[in-house]
Amino acid sequence: MVVQCTSIGELQEAGRTVYVISVDENGREWKAQKCYSDFLALDQALGSVVGLSREHLPEKGLFGLRHRLNLGDFNEHRRQGLHKYLECVASQIERLSQLPAFAEFLEPHLGQVSLAPTAPPPGALQVQALAERPAQGMQLPGQPPEAESPGGRWGPSGPPPEAPDP
C-alpha cells in the first residue's frame, strides 16, 4: 500500500471539531484538516465509484449535542470510525490520482503546511521578507550604521521639507 492515512487527531476551531489527518503517499507526507461535513461530501462522491468498498461513516449525532457533550465517548468513537473509513479507502489504491475525489479531499489547502521538505521548482522565485525600515536603533545586515551613512537618517538630501504654516 503506497497511500496511508497514518493517524487522525482533532482540534477545536471556532466551535467545531476539525480532524487532522496525517497522509503519506510514497514518502511524501503532509497533514490535511477536515470537518465531519467534508467526510460526508467525500462519502457521497466516492459512492459513485464502481468496485470501491467503504466503511460506514460514524453517525452524525442529533444537533451536535452528543458531540459537544461527548456522551458515551462519542468523540473518540467518531474519530476511530473516520480513521477506519480513510484506511479502508486508502488500502484499495496505490496512488491518490486513482481516486480524484479522495486526492482532493486529502490535499493540503491554503494555510496547511506540507511536512516533507521540498525544493522549489527550477526558475521559481524565492522571496525573503524584510521590514521596509528597521526599528529605531536597528540595522539591516550589509548596511553601515546610521551615524556613518551620508546625511544621517534622511540620506544625502536631508530631511523632507516642512509644510508651510497656513
Q: What CATH architecture is 3-106?
A: 2-Layer Sandwich (3.30)
Compute the average pLDDT of residues 27-52.
93
95-100: Cβ within 8 A, 24+ apart: 95/2, 95/3, 95/25, 95/26, 96/3, 96/25, 99/46, 99/49, 99/52
CA distance 135 to 83: 49
Q: Domain map of the chain by residue range? A: 3-106
Report pTM.
Answer: 0.62
Residue 51 in this model has a pLDDT that exceeds 80: yes
Block residue for cell numbers 460526508: 40
pLDDT tens-digit profile of 3-35?
898 778 888 888 788 999 999 998 899 999 999
Which residues on adjacent β-strands are paired with residue 124? Answer: none
DSSP string, 30-84: EEEEE-HHHHHHHHHHHTTSTT---PPPPP--STTHHHHHTGGGHHHHHHHHHHH
pLDDT tens-digit profile of 52-95?
999 999 987 766 666 666 667 888 888 999 999 999 999 999 99
